[in-house]
Amino acid sequence: MELIGKRLQDDALHWSRSFKETSAESNLFIDNWKYIIAGFVFQYIHGVAARGVHYLHRPGPTLQDLGFFLLPELGQDKAYISETVFMFVFLSFFLWTFHPFVFKVKKFYTVQIWCRVLAYLVVSQTLRIFTFYSTQLPGPNYHCRPGSKLARLPEPDGVLEVLVINFPQGVIYGCGDLIFSSHMIFTLVFVLTYQKYGTRRCIKQFGWSIAIIQSLLIVASRKHYTVDVVVAWYTVNLVVFFVDKKLPELSGRTNGSSLILLPLSTKDKDKWTKEENHKLLNGNSVNPADRRPRSQSNGKNLEDVNINQVDTSMNSTP
C-alpha cells in the first residue's frame, strides 16, 4: 500500500509540474507568438525561393571539386545515409527542446529557445537566398545532371505554380540552391544551440562529431560542392555569434519572467542604469526581480545570468 501511495503521489507531482510548465509556456507563447509565427512563415518563403531558383538552373558538367577528389562517391543508392543522419539530428534536437515539460531540472523555456533558434535560421537562410540567386552553379547531384528529367523545371503556367511547394519531392529533388547548404544550416544551428544551453558534455562532443560526419556525407553523396559546406560552417557560426550579441541572453528560470526577445534600446538601458545607481546612492538595494539582461554597445552583458538555477516556482513540491 505504501508503494502504491508513493506512486500516486509521484504521479500527482508529475502532472502538477506539467500543468505549471504548460501554463508558463502558454503565457510566453502569447507574448511572443509573432516571432514564432514569423519564423515558421519564413521557412515557407525559403522553400519558395529554393523552388524559384530551380527554374533558373541549367545543368552542365560537374565542376572541379577538392572534396569530390578526396572522398569516394557513395552512389545514388546510398544517398539516404546523409538524410538519415540529418533526420536523427533534427528529431533529437526537437525532442530536447521540449524536455522542460518532462524533467524537473530545466535551464530554459521551450518558447524562448525556439525564438532564438528561428532567429538564427531566418538570418542564415536570408543570406543563403541572396547567395544562390547571385550565381547558379550546375548541380552535382544525380538528378541535376545533364540528361535528367528533373534537372530543369518546365516554365510555370502562373505564379501559383511557383508558390505551391511540392513537399517533400520538391525539396528532395531541388536544383540550383547550392551555396550554401541548407542541411548544414540546420545541423550547425542545432549543435551550436545545444553547445550553449545544453548540459551534457558528451552530447556536445557527439553533436560536433555528427556535424563533421554530416559534412563529409553531403559531399560524398554529391548533393553539394565542398564550397557549399565550407561556407555554411563559417557563415552559420558568425550568424549565431552576431545574433547573440544583438539579442539579450536568455534569462534564467528563477523568476518565471518573460524573455525580452528584441534588442533593448540605448534609452531604456541608460534609464535602468541611472535608476539603479540612484537607489544605491540613497542606500537602497536594487530588487533583483526588476533586473533584466542588458547589452552594452560591444554586446557584452552587464550582468551574468545564472542559467543553471532551477525554477523553484515550477519544481517545488505543492
Question: Which residues does the annotation mark as catalytic?
Answer: 183, 224, 228
The DSSP element (H or E) to which 279 belongs, if any, is helix 266-281
Residue with cell 577528389: 69
Smallest CA-to-CA distance from 104 within 253, 288, 250 is with 253
Alpha-carbon distance values, 174 to 47, 78, 100, 138, 263 (Å): 10, 18, 37, 12, 36
The DSSP element (H or E) to which 81 belongs, if any, is helix 80-97
- CA 74/CA 87 separation, integer angstroms: 19
| Secondary structure (3-state) at 295 | strand
Looking at the DSSP bridge assignments, the partners of residue 301 are: 295
Contact 132, 228 (CB under 8 A): no
Alpha-carbon distance values, 318 to 16, 107, 311 (Å): 8, 21, 14
Alpha-carbon distance values, 213 to 19, 74, 126, 147, 207 (Å): 40, 14, 25, 31, 10
CA dihedral 204, 206, 212, 216 (to 10 degrees): -160
Would you say how long the chain is, in residues?
318
The secondary structure of the chain in percent helix, strand, coil, rounded to multiples of 5, reads 65, 0, 35
Phi, psi of 295 (to 5 degrees): -110, 135
- CA 155/CA 54 separation, integer angstroms: 11
> Please, what is the end-to-end C-alpha distance for the chain in angstroms?
22
